[in-house]
Amino acid sequence: MTDTAWIDAALTSARPQAVGALLRYFRNLDTAEEAFQNACLRALKSWPQNGPPRDPAAWLIMVGRNVAIDDIRRSRKQEPLPEDEAISDLDDAEDALAERLDGSQYRDDILRLLFICCHPDLPATQQIALALRIVSGLTVKQIARAFLVSEAAMEQRITRAKARVADADVPFETPGAVERTERLSAVAAMIYLIFNEGYSAGGDTADIRAPLCEEAIRLARLLLRLFQSEPEIMGLTALLLLQHARAAARFDSQGALVLLDDQDRSLWNQTMIAEGLALIDKAMRHRRSGPYQIQAAIAALHARAAKPEDTDWTQIDLLYGALEIMQPSPVVTLNRAVAVSKVRGPEAALEMIEPLAPRLSNYFHFFGVRGAFLMQLGRNDEARVAFDRAIALANTTVEAAHIRMHLDRLMRDSQPRGSKISKK
């Protein structure tokens, strides 16, 4: 690492804690962010000379707070000073705060900061953008790049989101147990959204968007460190790790999607898989199942299979069945049908998804999966119709290309017959 890289790393890792605490002081997102920025500037000057402080977050909070209060004083010279906000010297910033470092307070600070970004009035894309800007500290340019939009558009999106959050009542009281659980689940959902934003990228943009997956994992780990005994947070972290472990194998050199069955499993990241499996083990001890844990357990069964044919589809079918009960959704049933096709054959699977047709009539994957089942059954004409529909509904060029590959296979399969006819 270069000389200043450790400072960057320290500032990034202290950010959620520091901005969270500053927000608690100032109760205003912009003031908190600005205070943090100013503290970072001072850190860049001070740390290379004096070495890193014992507790970088505490240092940044104290310095950020003092600088902001100085600014407020300067801009309101006529008004009396805030009484209890004593301005202390930079040097003893750390000592002054060291004693007040209270784990549980920080825990709620960080949770609040994340929770603010999940405001129900904000559309998902704004929630994610806001969290990446405020909590993760990515620059607008970085976020814009990850979302494949212009910097100006992203700037506007974040400004709007901030304005909306500023108008809303931000809950500053220490949350009760029920509230804390609610916040936790909203935040977990938002972290999963960030991950999916990166994970659903096509092969042509996967590299650009992969940082979103990594950031989501970092936030999930952060949350888990704050809430160590929450099985669903263990499940979420495990799920993200197990899915991201396959990143290097998910696209071929042309950027085309490679299905799980066809992936080169030697490219899977075994360290991430090991961590994911360990977290599922921990979560299961609590015997409080939940959607993230079940999805992680499904991902784990794939990760544990050295070859596709080793996959325990029966267990996957059962897990999807449990997920259907917990979170009934046609998409879950559709996923379950894939497992059913492996256990009981395509006929049973097809029967299972037929009732979903009205609700999934605009869903790309429905027609992709349906086409694949029909193809397995040799009903090629019907398969072709389903695949055509899928292509029409594809969200990305990668999705469309993938279905086209199926169509090409159908064409190839039907060619011998075709050539015979042409000979006549």
Partner 1 sequence: MLYAILCYHDEDTVGSWTKEQDATVMKKLAVVQDKLTKQGRLGPVARLLPTTSATTLRKDDPPIVIDGPYAETKEQLLGFYVVDCKNLDEALDVARELGAANPGGAYEIRPVGLFQPGSTAT
Q: Based on the shown chain and the rule CB under 8 A, indicate whether residue 285 belongs to the binding site for partner 1.
A: yes
Q: Which two tokens stand for residue 256?
A: 């085309």
Which ranges constitute the DSSP H helices of 246-379?
270-284, 291-304, 313-326, 330-344, 346-353, 364-376
- The answer to whether residues 219 and 191 touch, using CB atoms and an 8 Å cutoff, is yes
Q: Based on the shown chain and the rule CB under 8 A, indicate whether residue 221 belongs to the binding site for partner 1.
A: yes
Please select the residue that binds partner 1; options are 229, 327, 329, 395, rule is CB under 8 A.
Answer: 229
217 or 340, CB closer to partner 1?
A: 217
Q: Based on the shown chain and the rule CB under 8 A, indicate whether residue 282 belongs to the binding site for partner 1.
A: yes
Please select the residue that binds partner 1; options are 78, 104, 254, 271, rule is CB under 8 A.
Answer: 271
9 or 306, CB closer to partner 1?
A: 9
| Cα 186 from chain centroid (whole Å) | 13
Q: Tell me the closest approach of the beta carbon of residue 222 to partner 1, in angstroms.
A: 8
Q: Based on the shown chain and the rule CB under 8 A, indicate whether residue 6 belongs to the binding site for partner 1.
A: yes
Q: Based on the shown chain and the rule CB under 8 A, indicate whether residue 228 belongs to the binding site for partner 1.
A: yes
* Residues near partner 1 (CB under 8 A), total: 22
14 or 369, CB closer to partner 1?
A: 14
57 or 410, CB closer to partner 1?
A: 57
From the list 59-67, 87-95, 125-133, 273-281, the region that binds partner 1 by CB under 8 A is: 273-281
Please select the residue that binds partner 1; options are 224, 299, 372, 398, rule is CB under 8 A.
Answer: 224
Q: Residue 290: which residues within 8 A CB-CB, separation 6 or more?
A: 231, 232, 235, 326
From the list 6-14, 22-30, 82-90, 399-407, the region that binds partner 1 by CB under 8 A is: 6-14
Q: Based on the shown chain and the rule CB under 8 A, indicate whether residue 237 belongs to the binding site for partner 1.
A: yes
- Cα distance between residue 234 and residue 218, in whole Å: 13
Q: Tell me the closest approach of the beta carbon of residue 221 to partner 1, in angstroms.
A: 5
Q: Based on the shown chain and the rule CB under 8 A, indicate whether residue 409 belongs to the binding site for partner 1.
A: no
Helices (H) and strands (E) in the chain, counts: 19, 0
Q: How many residues does the chain have?
A: 424
400 three-state secondary structure: helix
Q: b or e along 267-303 (b: 16 or more beta carbons within 10 Å of the residue's beta carbon)?
A: ebbeebbebbbebbebbbeeeebbbbbbbbbbbbbbb
296 or 386, CB closer to partner 1?
A: 296
160 three-state secondary structure: helix
Helices 103-117 and 5-26 pack at an angle, to 10 degrees, of 90
From the list 8-16, 40-48, 70-78, 389-397, the region that binds partner 1 by CB under 8 A is: 8-16
Q: Based on the shown chain and the rule CB under 8 A, indicate whether residue 42 belongs to the binding site for partner 1.
A: no
Q: Based on the shown chain and the rule CB under 8 A, indicate whether residue 180 belongs to the binding site for partner 1.
A: no
Q: Based on the shown chain and the rule CB under 8 A, indicate whether residue 261 belongs to the binding site for partner 1.
A: no
Please select the residue that binds partner 1; options are 87, 163, 278, 348, rule is CB under 8 A.
Answer: 278
Q: Which two tokens stand for residue 32?
A: 């908190």
One-letter-per-residue 3-state SS of 345-385: CHHHHHHHHHHHCCCCCCCHHHHHHHHHHHHHCCCHHHHHH
Owner of token pair 């899977």: 268
Q: Based on the shown chain and the rule CB under 8 A, indicate whether residue 105 belongs to the binding site for partner 1.
A: no
Binding residues vs partner 1 (CB under 8 A): 1, 6, 9-10, 12-13, 218, 221, 224-225, 228-229, 234, 237, 271, 274-275, 278-279, 281-282, 285
